[in-house]
Structure 1
């Protein structure tokens, strides 16, 4: 998989100001950096603090994969162990695989190599005080667009197919159990490819420079036919913010974006209540558990169906909401409408 000798892309200029060029609405208390790039027109449809640095969390795994593949040669056969590690790192955001390549490839030297290769302008390795923390590398929304543009428009076909193919197969849950379908996959219909990032749940210790204290949650990837539009959303949340709230705030921000070629999923958004709420394959408590909702997160509902009567005082209901993103049902008693049957929601 030959990557050497590639020239840096001629990139559209990213507006450097803090003002938005589109419709971005940032929830209160959230700091955000946003860039949305339409590859068909060569224009940005959204830009908010595009050059503001955030700790990368798992988005840096894109550079780990590219650095591994660089200079391997056109006839390189990837060993089965590396293929397996890279696949689980890209699809399920596996941290053990990332730590393996971070150490094997030289830690911050990876960032030092990839910055000039891809023409990145505001990307840096982790602070000198935290050399082993790959997730503390500094990334921006604008540089993330550059990484995806390289992958889509310049990388050799085998590299593009391998990396993007795995991002198109990203699983709902990471290997650490976190639900990584916030933001892009919560809001839009397929096709999409994602590389998400989360850090600080619970909070990490901070040092000077890039914020290492506030909870970080990032949604990045591509949307639409032929990966038409690149989306990069970086966010920081007040320290001790619960994961469910951060999940909801990132998703709400993503819902306001103008993304050419993408189709928003139909349905009505509701906020859930309770902790550890289970999504089931049928509207009863004996059916298979498909997943667990983040605490008090927004969910998309397309319809509701009568099923088993469930009681959790003071609430009782025999109606169950269908969540298309989970392909399953959750009892209405954990959806915060205060009514047994959801308003303005059709029957299934």
Structure 2
């Protein structure tokens, strides 16, 4: 586990305290659009800037999938299509999204699906950027409409296939980003997820994986803000490519992190949270901010997880199945500096990260594993107010 110099020289910086806005706690510096819709009562419990447009990032994959399935029965898909779509919906596979974006005629996908679903705030990428499916603009209100279409209007096989995949969301996206923030970090299952992230470079927790494209089409990865390379591979965008064109209505520069989906039995409540963060915000910081915002929401039917939230420090912090590094290979790694939910703590292997030594480990129920308490932002060897794990 690699430690940052910050953690070794003093306490990590505190995340700015959230400011209250229209009943939703929006952390300082964050721009947010929020809509929470209770399908049981047919009413919104939260609405904040719900008609503001954001670049959709991976949330547009819902529309890409719906467009492809509008003339197809998902029960009869050829194996290659099922594999691609499963990966796109569960693990936010950018290569699959690029494949179907091109196959469907790129902007024609939005021209077909927006009027069919009744979307009023969804539009295609800026002129000249039609290859960039992640630059499709949408709103929190329109995202609620997409999920309502899926759940209430779409043919049952389409509904069951898409929602079934969203319920099987993998912790790590195919690009190595930890995508279980927001809804997944704030509520206990059942939930279904389609997340979006854009502009965070290549460090998102998990095991870093290079973005890929299929030769023969131009695919833009919204997660790493990539552009097609001359040899068919992707490369990081230049400063000019990262800057919105003159007159562009949607911010294409600031880091974007979105959490959307359903929460509760019977997909009771639809949650759509879109956020933009100050340019240069690390992924773990944005991840924590979105978690805090989502936890502040009134979400009928939701169950909140038990435990205590703590900040962490260090990069490449491993989560292990047992409180030891011996015969306990990492399950995953944490996004650097992310806030985590601690369920209990127990003594295990003594770990030394100069100048610290500790035998206590924190159990993270949302990860199903342990991290050494050294990387938890709290004074002392044991975490205050956290119970000892029951003997196994």
Measured against the shorter chain, the TM-score band is over 0.9
Alignment CA distance shift 1:76-1:281 (3 Å): closer
3-state SS of 1:252 partner = helix
**Partner residue, 2:352:** 311
3-state SS of 2:24 partner = coil
- Structure 1 unaligned residues grouped into runs of 5+: 1-18
**Partner residue, 2:34:** 34
User: Residues of 1 paired with 2:272 and 2:74: CA distance?
Assistant: 33
Q: Are the equivalent residues in 2 in contact too, given 1:50–1:140 (CA < 8 A)?
A: yes
Does 1 or 2 have the higher relative contact order (CA < 8 Å, sep 6+)?
Answer: 2
Q: Are the equivalent residues in 1 in contact too, given 2:74–2:158 (CA < 8 A)?
A: no
Q: Are the equivalent residues in 2 in contact too, given 1:20–1:46 (CA < 8 A)?
A: no
3-state SS of 1:289 partner = coil
Q: CA deviation at 1:59?
A: 0.2
3-state SS of 1:234 partner = strand
Q: Are the equivalent residues in 2 in contact too, given 1:20–1:47 (CA < 8 A)?
A: no
**Partner residue, 2:233:** none
User: Residues of 1 paired with 2:294 and 2:356: CA distance?
Assistant: 32
User: Residues of 2 paired with 1:247 and 1:20: CA distance?
Assistant: 19
Q: Are the equivalent residues in 1 in contact too, given 2:74–2:157 (CA < 8 A)?
A: no
**Alignment of structure 1 residues 36-51 onto 2, 5 Å:** 36-51=36-51
User: Residues of 2 paired with 1:20 and 1:38: CA distance?
Assistant: 20
The root-mean-square deviation of aligned C-alpha atoms, in Å, is: 1.3
**Partner residue, 1:163:** 162
3-state SS of 2:50 partner = coil
1:64-84 Cα distance to aligned partner (Å, 9 max, x none): 000001133x69721111111
Choose from 279, 294, 297 the match for 2:335. Answer: 294
Q: CA deviation at 1:177?
A: 0.5
Residue 260 in 1 paired to residue 259 in 2? no
User: Residues of 2 paired with 1:108 and 1:321: CA distance?
Assistant: 48
**Partner residue, 1:345:** 386
Alignment CA distance shift 1:175-1:76 (3 Å): closer
**Partner residue, 1:117:** 116
Choose from 256, 269, 278 the match for 2:309. Answer: 269
TM-score (norm 1): 0.92
User: Residues of 2 paired with 1:222 and 1:129: CA distance?
Assistant: 34
User: Residues of 1 paired with 2:54 and 2:243: CA distance?
Assistant: 13
3-state SS of 2:159 partner = helix
Q: CA deviation at 1:129?
A: 2.3
User: Residues of 2 paired with 1:102 and 1:156: CA distance?
Assistant: 22
**Alignment of structure 1 residues 5-20 onto 2, 5 Å:** none
1:219-264 Cα distance to aligned partner (Å, 9 max, x none): 0000000100000000000111101100110011011001000101
**Partner residue, 1:218:** 258
Q: CA deviation at 1:20?
A: 6.0
Alignment CA distance shift 1:106-1:75 (3 Å): closer
Choose from 254, 266, 271 the match for 1:231. Answer: 271
**Partner residue, 1:128:** 127
Q: Are the equivalent residues in 1 in contact too, given 2:262–2:271 (CA < 8 A)?
A: yes
**Alignment of structure 1 residues 172-187 onto 2, 5 Å:** 172-187=171-186
Residue 79 in 1 paired to residue 78 in 2? yes
User: Residues of 1 paired with 2:39 and 2:158: CA distance?
Assistant: 19
Runs of 4+ in 1 over 3 A off after TM superposition: none
User: Residues of 2 paired with 1:50 and 1:106: CA distance?
Assistant: 28
3-state SS of 2:26 partner = coil
3-state SS of 2:29 partner = coil
Q: CA deviation at 1:275?
A: 0.6
Residue 245 in 1 paired to residue 285 in 2? yes
**Partner residue, 2:11:** none
Q: Are the equivalent residues in 2 in contact too, given 1:273–1:296 (CA < 8 A)?
A: yes
User: Residues of 2 paired with 1:34 and 1:20: CA distance?
Assistant: 11
Alignment CA distance shift 1:75-1:63 (3 Å): closer
Residue 196 in 1 paired to residue 237 in 2? no
**Partner residue, 2:243:** 206
Q: CA deviation at 1:138?
A: 0.1
Q: CA deviation at 1:209?
A: 2.1
User: Residues of 2 paired with 1:317 and 1:77: CA distance?
Assistant: 55
**Partner residue, 2:377:** 336
